[in-house]
Amino acid sequence: MPFIPHTEEDVAEMLASIGAASIDELFDEIPTELKNGQLTQVPVGMSEMEISRLMYERAQQDGFYLSFIGAGAYEHHIPAAVWQITTRGEFYSSYTPYQAEASQGTLQLLYEYQTMMASLTGMDVSNASLYDGASALAEAALMAVRQHKSSRRILIPQTVHPVYRRVVRTIVRNQAIEVVEVPYDPATGQVTIDQLDQFAQEEFAALIIPQPNFFGVLEQVDMLADWAHDKQSLAIAVVNPTALAMLKPPGEWGRQGADIAVGEGQPLGIPLSSGGPYFGFMACKQELVRQMPGRIIGRTTDLEGKEGFALTLQAREQHIRRSKATSNICTNQGLMVTAATIYMSLLGPEGLYRVAAQSHANTLALVERLEKLPGVKKAFHSPFFHEAVLQLSVPADQVLDKLRAQGVLGGVLLENYYPDLKNMLLICATETKTAEDLDKYTEVLQQALTA
Amino acid sequence: MLIFEHSRKNRRNYSQAPAARPARNNIPDNLKRRSIPLLPEVSEMDTVRHYTRLSQKNFSIDTEFYPLGSCTMKYNPRACNALAMLPQFLSRHPLAPEDTGQGFLACMYELQEILKDVTGMAAVSLTSMAGAQGELIGITMIRAYHEARGDTGRTEVIIPDAAHGTNPATAVMSGYKVIEIPTNRDGDVDMDALKAAVGPRTAGLMLTNPSTLGVFEKKVAEMSRIVHEAGGLLYYDGANLNAVLGKVKPGDMGFDVIHMNLHKTFSTPHGGGGPGAAPVGVADCLLPYLPIPIVAHEQGVYRWLTEKDRPQSIGRLSAHMGNAGVLLRAYIYVRLLGAEGMFRIAEYATLNANYLMAELRKLGFEIAYPDRRASHEFIVTMKEIKDRTGVTAMHLAKRLLDKGFHAPTVYFPLLVPECLLIEPAETESKETLDRFVVAMKEILDEIDTQPEMVKAAPHNMPLRKIDDVKAARELDLVWNPAG
Ligand SMILES: Cc1ncc(COP(=O)(O)O)c(C=O)c1O
């Protein structure tokens, strides 16, 4: 039943005040022929007890698995305090902080978030979030085209997450922006200067640089950023925020640093939750800030000079500039940023480093164990962060089915995204995996390969 | 005080991260990070205290009446949150095989079916993460439709001046030129202007109904005919669906594509700015272009449709499937309501709005469209008060904060001067509305007796009025430890 507090008496008094005989009368401006009181697919309402039972059953049906899947969404330990604080009603049930004086909590938190993200990426400024990593990348591409002015083409390596590439295409195509894909070196799984140099004579607004890339492989980011800047293109970094605790931040890539850094914020305290809600982060150089989409919070003062926070640079946004806005984004992923900020505070620089380093070490250990099995080898000879691609000598889809029967989700079939990469698995072992978990994977894979 | 100011070098939280740095590290030297990121070094208790205290500086639905027009700030039932956060749902990887997620997918499929019914559309995709993204999807599909017919001369999207800012921003982001049409004195779209605006360049019209002026667009059927006859399609901005849920279906009004903000009508939380979810519904003509993923139910099994199933799809808009956890909350909400509950939503939202409008009118506030019924929201204009006393809509908004109420939406829609767009939502009781009326009466009196005090509001908040001019002029977007 709906959450409506009115008593019959209330309704009578309210109608009397309005001067209407019935609630129905309040709908008298709607043409009769449009009225439609039929709902056939909406079941009868449930009590909280009944819906709880249904949801428990469905949750149980889905169960728990030992998962080695990454590919853009990563299982990390989330400290208990993160969601206990995040789901406090004052964060959970407030709106976008338009009324600054009644939203100082959210605004200050976002300012702290911007500070943390700018530092983590090595950039000057950060916005307060976009929808997710893929749409953030699309926004970065649009931003680069606005900034560059002369070219409407974007270079995107095939080592960028395949779905991100698709999302970018869907979004930028409307503005007649061309997306050109750069192949990778099949031996290393990296973009090379040789691959890029075939485009040396053409003009591009930006080169997108993933770190780590979709294969988990580390790209030669300094070289790539310099290549972009040498030909007056912007360098757009798409990065994993956990990895940034260990890896050189985009702001320090090459001679000038990347111009825009985006990525998926999910690893920072957001549950996997079947794919969302996550959040996209975006940071950039100071000189690009007026091209940035999304909310930005500034520190200022009140009438009496006390420190306070407010939405700022709103002249970029749709509610002020309408058709001239930098983006149409309005609602963002605020609550996810709340969780991420609390997560980063709890972990601190050393904690985040350890999460990254342990994830890296676990994946190294897992790959080493699996490589010893007959019929398994590493697909690419390059350093990786916390994901790697394995080449199997047998049909990988069947192997995955066998692992699943043992309660293990063994990774992602690369062929789903790269039709030429047959029988390859993309695997990931974050800090959540113990030595026993790695043994278990090794054992069930061995069985699957021999059975 | 910022979290960074609680930080002390080498203070650590021992339980949440791995116990030590592992021995193995194969990151090449030239790719290693040299600098320490500026994250605070604080204890768990410091963190909990800091963010709990920050939360207490917010107004929220859980603590205050929040009549923010066009935003539908209704109560967010606790069960929706608790059940969406069951550990199996939270831990499910988006790329886990479909047969390990049949429980979750069943919820998504049923939600699609329910939303189809509620809106009268032929099919629904759940992928969109907010209203604005739903709009982008809708306009992109309209483009795909025209292109597929070889109808490439359509370069314009028509939008009434009352529309939300996301509408024109979306049209431009989708590569279209915006043709703005005016509203007449009654709050309806000016039909002559619409007739003059349509033509061979019209790709479509974006309309919110009830509009953001808080009135039902009575001639919507005629508008639909005019636009369709010109070869254009109709987009429905479903931000105001709460006003007509169970009463009128956008499909019956002639719309070809719609989005619905689940974070409004279906009571998922706003989270201080998001996340939302805005499933998109389409009529048959746009069905092939619907973005993936979409859940299918075949031979008792749920599965995601892919590019192979939908070769003409406009593609994907998110890395996975949009805001799954928000969709789950909306699903739980509709199951709690049921059909009979759903009918009551629009009724009581409308009752609350018309009651509040009647009471404020009795106090002497000027109603922008006095001859119209309110939908689930209505507009008060402070124009006369401002001309007489200098007190603006923003001043009144700030003074309301002092009295423990969140302000209505101010200065939107832009065409009504000094406007307050007030949306009480069905979950508020008569007592709360009456307390709000008392506060508005007090402010009205204060405007007469001490206008300068009202102009200087707020007085009782943790901070006085924030200087947002300074915020924009002296940009301070990240904290710098050096000061
Ligand atoms: C009328 C109207 N249209 C569109 C939107 C945009 O929706 P969202 O904020 O979910 O992107 C809003 C919400 O603010 C709205 O009120």
Place of tokens 């099995």: A373
Give per-residue pLDDT as tens, B338-364.
999 999 999 999 999 999 999 999 999
Place of tokens 């199997």: A392
Chain B CB contacts of A385 below 8 Å? 27
Q: Rounded to a whole number, what is the distance in Å from the CA of B448 to chain A's nearest CA?
A: 23
Q: Cβ A247–B33 below 8 Å, yes or no? A: yes
Q: Cβ A104–B58 below 8 Å, yes or no? A: yes
Chain A CB contacts of B16 below 8 Å? 77, 79, 346-347, 351
Eight-state DSSP code of residue B213: T
* CATH architecture for residues B79-337: 3-Layer(aba) Sandwich (3.40)
Average pLDDT for B245-250: 93
- CATH number for the domain running over B345-469: 3.90.1150.10
Average pLDDT for A142-155: 97
Average pLDDT for B254-268: 97
Ligand 1 center to residue B289 CA distance, Å? 23
Give per-residue pLDDT as tens, A358-388.
999 999 999 999 999 999 999 999 999 999 9
Chain B CB contacts of A2 below 8 Å? 337, 341-342, 344-345, 348, 426
Q: Rounded to a whole number, what is the distance in Å from the CA of A292 to chain B's nearest CA?
A: 13
Chain B CB contacts of A105 below 8 Å? 53-58
Ligand 1 center to residue A146 CA distance, Å? 24
Mutate-to-test residue for ligand 1 from B68, B70, B317, highest number of ligand atoms within 8 A of CB:
B70
Report angle CA B220, A17, B345 to the nearest 5 degrees: 50
Ligand 1 atom closest to the CA of B208, numbered from 1: 1
Q: How far is CA B317 from the centre of its chain?
A: 18
Residues of chain B with CATH 3.90.1150.10: 345-469
Average pLDDT for A112-141: 98
| Coil, helix or strand at residue B311 | coil
**pLDDT of A1 over the 80 cut:** no
Q: Cβ B373–A29 below 8 Å, yes or no? A: yes
Interstrand relation of A206-211 and A234-239 (parallel, antiparallel or unpaired)? parallel
Long-range contacts from A320-325, C-beta under 8 angstroms, 24+ separation: A320/B165, A321/B165, A321/B169, A322/B165, A322/B168, A322/B169, A322/B178, A323/B168, A323/B169, A323/B171, A323/B172, A323/B178, A324/B172, A325/B165, A325/B169, A325/B172
CA A423 – CA A402 distance, rounded (Å): 14
CA B465 – CA B214 distance, rounded (Å): 29
Q: What is the pLDDT of residue A23?
A: 98
Average pLDDT for A307-331: 94
Ligand 1 atom closest to the CA of B237, numbered from 1: 3
Ligand 1 center to residue A269 CA distance, Å? 27
Residues of chain B with pLDDT > 90, as a percent, come to 98
What is chain B's length?
483
Q: Give the count of Cβ contacts less than 8 A between chain A and B.
A: 693
Q: What is the pLDDT of residue A2?
A: 85
Q: Which residues line ligand 1 (CB under 6 A)?
A: A 330-331; B 70, 130-132, 164, 166, 208, 212, 237, 239, 261, 276, 278
Q: Cβ B336–A10 below 8 Å, yes or no? A: no
Q: Cβ B467–A301 below 8 Å, yes or no? A: yes
Question: Looking at the complex, does the CB of residue B43 fall below 8 Å from at least one CB of chain A?
Answer: no
Q: Cβ A126–B31 below 8 Å, yes or no? A: no
Nearest CB to B169; choose among A52, A55, A323: A323
**pLDDT of A438 over the 90 cut:** yes
Beta carbons of B58 and A415 less than 8 angstroms apart: no
Question: Looking at the complex, does the CB of residue B392 fall below 8 Å from at least one CB of chain A?
Answer: no
Give per-residue pLDDT as tens, A267-296.
999 999 999 999 999 999 999 999 999 999
Nearest CB to B22; choose among A309, A336, A357: A357
Give per-residue pLDDT as tens, A93-117.
999 999 999 999 999 999 999 999 9
List the residue whose alpha carbon is closest to atom 14 of ligand 1: B71
B:212-251 residues touching chain A, CB 8 A cutoff = 215-216, 218, 220-221, 244, 246-249
Beta carbons of A91 and B55 less than 8 angstroms apart: yes
Q: Cβ A171–B471 below 8 Å, yes or no? A: no
Nearest CB to A34; choose among B4, B56, B252: B252
Q: Cβ A99–B373 below 8 Å, yes or no? A: no
Residues of chain A with pLDDT > 90, as a percent, come to 97
CA A332 – CA A293 distance, rounded (Å): 11
Nearest CB to B478; choose among A92, A115, A164: A115
C-beta neighbour count of A118 within 10 angstroms? 26
Ligand 1 center to residue B132 CA distance, Å? 6
Q: What is the pLDDT of residue A432?
A: 98
Q: What is the pLDDT of residue A36?
A: 85
List the residue whose alpha carbon is closest to atom 5 of ligand 1: B131
Beta carbons of A170 and A241 less than 8 angstroms apart: no
Residues of chain B with CATH 3.40.640.10: 79-337
Chain A CB contacts of B464 below 8 Å? 101, 302-304, 306
| Average pLDDT of chain B, as a whole number | 97
| Average pLDDT of chain A, as a whole number | 97
What is chain A's length?
451
Higher pLDDT, A2 or B48: B48
Q: Rounded to a whole number, what is the distance in Å from the CA of A179 to chain B's nearest CA?
A: 15
Ligand 1 center to residue B19 CA distance, Å? 45
List the residue whose alpha carbon is closest to atom 16 of ligand 1: B70
B:5-24 residues touching chain A, CB 8 A cutoff = 7, 11-13, 15-18, 20-24
* A134 contacts: CB under 8 Å, gap ≥ 6: A161, A163, A164, A167, A168, A264, A280, B316, B317, B318, B319
Question: Looking at the complex, does the CB of residue B44 fall below 8 Å from at least one CB of chain A?
Answer: yes
Q: Cβ B274–A5 below 8 Å, yes or no? A: no
Place of tokens 């003009």: A203
Q: Cβ B348–A328 below 8 Å, yes or no? A: no
Q: Rounded to a whole number, what is the distance in Å from the CA of A375 to chain B's nearest CA?
A: 24
**Tokens linked to B162:** 């009352």
Chain B CB contacts of A20 below 8 Å? 354
User: Could you give all domains of chain A from N- to C-terminal order, each with its CATH number?
Assistant: 66-76+357-450 (3.90.1150.10), 80-342 (3.40.640.10)
Residues of chain B with pLDDT > 70, as a percent, come to 100
Nearest CB to A169; choose among B13, B315, B323: B315
Chain A CB contacts of B273 below 8 Å? 95-97, 106, 128-129, 295, 331-335, 337
Q: Cβ B274–A129 below 8 Å, yes or no? A: yes
Ligand 1 center to residue A267 CA distance, Å? 28
* A200 contacts: CB under 8 Å, gap ≥ 6: A231
Give per-residue pLDDT as tens, A45-97.
999 999 999 999 999 999 999 999 999 999 999 999 999 999 999 999 999 99
Q: What is the pLDDT of residue B246?
A: 86
ipTM for the predicted complex comes to 0.98
Instruction: Give CA separation, B166 vs A336, B150, B163, B367, in Å.
Output: 22, 28, 8, 26
Question: Looking at the complex, does the CB of residue B323 fall below 8 Å from at least one CB of chain A?
Answer: yes
Question: Looking at the complex, does the CB of residue B404 fall below 8 Å from at least one CB of chain A?
Answer: no
Give per-residue pLDDT as tens, B454-474.
999 999 999 999 999 999 999
Place of tokens 């759940």: B126
- What residue in A sits closest to B168 (Cα-Cα)? A323
Higher pLDDT, A241 or A451: A241
HEC string of chain A?
Answer: CCCCCCCHHHHHHHHHHHCCCCCHHHHCCCCHHHECCCCCCCCCCCCHHHHHHHHHHHHHHHCCCEECCCCCCCCCCCCHHHHHHHCCHHHHCCCCCCCHHHEHHHHHHHHHHHHHHHHHHCCCEECCCECCHHHHHHHHHHHHHHHHCCCCEEEEECCCCHHHHHHHHHHHHCCCCEEEEECCECCCCECCHHHHHCCCCCCCCEEEEEECCCCCECCCHHHHHHHHHHCCCEEEEEECCCHHHCECCHHHCCCCCCCEEEEECCCCCCCCHHHCCCCEEEEECHHHHHHCCCCCEEEEEECCCCEEEEECCHHHCHHHHHHHCCCCCCCCCHHHHHHHHHHHHHHHHHHHHHHHHHHHHHHHHHHHHHHCCCCEEECCCCCECCEEEEEECCCHHHHHHHHHHCCEECCEEHHHCCCCCCCEEEEECCCCCCHHHHHHHHHHHHHHHHC
Q: What is the pLDDT of residue B483?
A: 74
Q: Cβ B478–A248 below 8 Å, yes or no? A: no
Give per-residue pLDDT as tens, B28-81.
999 999 999 999 999 999 999 999 999 999 999 999 999 999 999 999 999 999
Give per-residue pLDDT as tens, B11-27.
988 789 999 999 999 99
List the residue whose alpha carbon is closest to atom 8 of ligand 1: B131
